[in-house]
């Protein structure tokens, strides 16, 4: 049977728009993947005939629920919780929980869809999912966060399990929140099921290097990209957006490889220290004091803190967007390219707009999409699941060694897939194609389910 791949792709996208009105971020994520998969389907028409793409863009399950809780003064609040279980073809649903006041189903769906391909790229047998709530933990007491987490888990627990769905942390959900969530799950399930959540404390089932993994993995991916052109990180000027865990540990790993990391940002502005950012001071300000970056400039007068413009205005060799989706826009990409940037790798999920990606690609900049470049976090979560299954605990060094190997393999798979489907150095095509092929083969084997 002849399949008109172009028409099939457009029909799939039109149906996504019809079924999911107003969900621009989800539309964006699907569009990018579908554009890449056209080349795959032309070469492998059996995937089109089986309508694997049509099945893949529809989540297996979407869960929305009410989360009532009381603050310290006794006032009742009502938030909304989400969990999108998108694909279990390769293993239990796996993906983080995000607590952010602006969170909506659109964002959760785009993140869960991206997670399918990211998780497939790790080769570690995990499906794709994502979740969270429109709750803001900032400014809340530990007791308030605990009560919210307990109410959230009271509803969500019935959908979880180490062989069903395994959440982790994300923006707004760190070790504290995971602890409260796990405690409530344990209470409701009446069992210590360590593998049901990842990102746990290292004293009770968590993995060494999990906090560092996303940032470390992003830098490992950059290193592999540069190596394809006979270059490395030594002496390279690096800027990062954000100043949370991903940014801080990307900074740490980049410095360990000899890079000069000169700028980072937060929601109040961006910081430039031409001599190289002081990692210890940044960790004290952001992780301990939870203060703004202007505190760094107060402590280091040599540094400049700017409330206007963008961190991407700073001339650099490497840019690592590590904050949030669609933060790096076309004008930023134009400025980066004009200033001679060599590589951009996404530490965050979909931080570059499609227009920005086009500019970077046309300028010959190495571009590592988030589903490949920042897969180190979920890879280490899967390694945490492996340790939990064997009631084992690995050292930091052993875990990081395995993380580095996973990132090398992801890079190699992206390169091979991009070459197979006709566009060398196209890491977007490579990541989408390599991830899709693993999921598609499993879906064919498992029948129409």
The answer to the question of residue 178 being in a domain is yes
Mean pLDDT, all residues of the chain: 96
Residue 1 has pLDDT above 80, yes or no: no
- Is the same domain home to 246 and 351? yes
Q: Can you list the positions of beta strands (E) in 279-420?
A: 304-306, 318-321, 343-345, 366-368
- Is the same domain home to 91 and 40? no
For residues 34 and 12, give the distance between their C-alpha atoms in angstroms, rounded to a whole number: 9
DSSP output for 396-442: HHHHHHHHHHHHHHHHHHHHHHHHHTT-TT-HHHHHHHHHHHHHHHH
pLDDT tens, residue by residue, 67-99: 999 999 999 999 999 999 999 999 999 999 999
The answer to the question of residue 373 being in a domain is no
Would strands 76-87 and 61-70 be described as parallel, antiparallel, or unpaired?
Answer: antiparallel
The answer to the question of residue 437 being in a domain is no
How large a percentage of the chain has pLDDT more than 70?
99
- Is the same domain home to 66 and 158? yes
Closest CA to 149 of 103, 114, 124, 182: 182
Closest CA to 201 of 388, 4, 389: 388
Residue 188, H or E segment: helix 175-189
Other C-beta atoms closer than 10 Å to the C-beta of 235 total 9
pTM, to two decimals: 0.94
172-200 average pLDDT score: 97
- Is the same domain home to 215 and 160? no
152-156 average pLDDT score: 98
For residues 144 and 70, give the distance between their C-alpha atoms in angstroms, rounded to a whole number: 7
Strand partners, 266: 269
Structural domains counted in the chain:
3
CATH number at residue 287: 3.40.50.720
Residue 422 has pLDDT above 90, yes or no: no
- Is the same domain home to 185 and 298? no
The answer to the question of residue 307 being in a domain is yes
pLDDT band at 142 (very low <50, low <70, confident <90, very high): very high
Buried b (16+ CB within 10 A) or exposed e, 122-161: bbbbbbbbbbbbbbebeebeeebbbbbbbbbbbbbbebbb
For residues 8 and 14, give the distance between their C-alpha atoms in angstroms, rounded to a whole number: 10
Residue 312 has pLDDT above 90, yes or no: yes
pLDDT tens, residue by residue, 41-60: 999 999 999 999 999 999 99
The answer to the question of residue 436 being in a domain is no
For residues 133 and 1, give the distance between their C-alpha atoms in angstroms, rounded to a whole number: 45
Out of 315, 348, 368, a domain closes at: 368
pLDDT tens, residue by residue, 373-407: 999 999 999 999 999 999 999 999 999 999 999 99
pLDDT tens, residue by residue, 373-382: 999 999 999 9
207-236 average pLDDT score: 97
278-284 average pLDDT score: 96
Other C-beta atoms closer than 10 Å to the C-beta of 225 total 25
Quick one: pLDDT at residue 48?
Answer: 93
Residue 2 has pLDDT above 70, yes or no: no
For residues 274 and 166, give the distance between their C-alpha atoms in angstroms, rounded to a whole number: 42
Residue 96, H or E segment: strand 93-99
For residues 366 and 118, give the distance between their C-alpha atoms in angstroms, rounded to a whole number: 19
Out of 368, 396, 416, a domain closes at: 368
Residue 62 DSSP one-character state: E
SS3 266: strand
- Is the same domain home to 50 and 151? no
CATH number at residue 160: 3.40.50.10860
- Is the same domain home to 97 and 51? no
Structural domain that includes position 85? 61-193
Quick one: pLDDT at residue 4?
Answer: 87
- Is the same domain home to 303 and 268? yes
Residue 290 has pLDDT above 90, yes or no: no
Is the separation of the CB atoms in 432 and 248 below 8 Å? no
Other C-beta atoms closer than 10 Å to the C-beta of 46 total 12
For residues 402 and 122, give the distance between their C-alpha atoms in angstroms, rounded to a whole number: 11
- Is the same domain home to 87 and 176? yes
Residue 3 has pLDDT above 80, yes or no: no
The answer to the question of residue 334 being in a domain is yes
For residues 428 and 446, give the distance between their C-alpha atoms in angstroms, rounded to a whole number: 27
Residue 361 has pLDDT above 80, yes or no: yes
Tell me the Ramachandran region of residue 44: left when phi exceeds 0, alpha when psi lies from -120 to 50, beta otherwise. beta
The answer to the question of residue 200 being in a domain is no
End-to-end CA distance of the chain: 23
The answer to the question of residue 446 being in a domain is no
- Is the same domain home to 95 and 172? yes
- Is the same domain home to 68 and 32? no
- Is the same domain home to 328 and 271? yes
For residues 356 and 348, give the distance between their C-alpha atoms in angstroms, rounded to a whole number: 15
Catalytic residues: 130
Out of 338, 368, 398, a domain closes at: 368
């Amino acid at each position: 049977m002849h399949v008109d791949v172009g028409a099939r792709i457009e029909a799939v996208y039109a149906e996504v728009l019809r079924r999911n009105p107003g969900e621009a971020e989800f539309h964006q994520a699907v569009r990018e993947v579908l554009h890449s998969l056209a080349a795959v389907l032309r070469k492998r028409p059996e995937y089109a005939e089986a309508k694997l793409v049509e099945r893949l863009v529809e989540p297996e399950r979407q869960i929305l629920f009410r989360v009532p809780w009381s603050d310290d003064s006794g006032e009742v609040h009502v938030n909304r919780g989400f969990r999108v279980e998108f694909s279990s073809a390769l293993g239990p649903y796996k993906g983080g929980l995000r607590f952010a006041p602006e969170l909506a189903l659109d964002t959760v769906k785009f993140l869960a869809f991206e997670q399918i391909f990211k998780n497939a790229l790790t080769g570690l047998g995990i499906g794709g999912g994502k979740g969270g709530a429109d709750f803001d933990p900032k400014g809340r007491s530990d007791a308030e966060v605990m009560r919210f987490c307990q109410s959230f888990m009271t509803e969500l627990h019935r959908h979880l399990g180490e062989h069903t769905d395994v959440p982790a942390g994300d923006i707004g959900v760190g070790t504290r929140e995971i602890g409260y969530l796990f405690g409530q799950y344990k209470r409701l399930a009446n069992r210590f099921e360590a593998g049901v959540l990842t990102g746990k404390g290292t004293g009770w089932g968590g993995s060494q290097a999990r906090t560092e993994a996303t940032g470390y993995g992003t830098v490992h991916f950059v290193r592999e990209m540069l190596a394809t052109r006979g270059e490395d990180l030594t002496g390279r000027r690096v800027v990062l957006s954000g100043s949370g865990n991903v940014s801080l540990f990307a900074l740490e790993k980049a410095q360990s490889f000899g890079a000069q990391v000169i700028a980072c940002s937060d929601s109040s502005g961006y910081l430039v220290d031409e001599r190289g950012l002081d990692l210890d001071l940044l960790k004290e300000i952001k992780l301990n004091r939870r203060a703004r970056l202007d505190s760094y400039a107060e402590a280091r007068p040599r540094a400049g803190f700017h409330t206007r413009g963008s961190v991407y205005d700073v001339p650099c060799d490497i840019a690592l967007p590590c904050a949030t989706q669609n933060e790096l826009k076309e004008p930023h990409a134009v400025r980066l390219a004009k200033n001679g940037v060599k590589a951009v790798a996404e530490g965050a999920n979909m931080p570059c707009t499609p227009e920005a990606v086009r500019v970077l690609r046309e300028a010959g900049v190495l571009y590592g999409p988030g589903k490949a470049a920042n897969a180190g976090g979920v890879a280490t979560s899967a390694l945490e699941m492996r340790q939990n299954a064997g009631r084992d605990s690995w050292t930091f060094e052993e875990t990081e060694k395995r993380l580095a190997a996973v990132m090398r393999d992801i890079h190699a798979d992206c390169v091979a897939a991009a070459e197979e489907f006709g566009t060398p150095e196209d890491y977007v095509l490579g990541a989408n194609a390599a991830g899709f092929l693993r999921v598609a083969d499993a879906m064919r084997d498992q029948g129409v389910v």
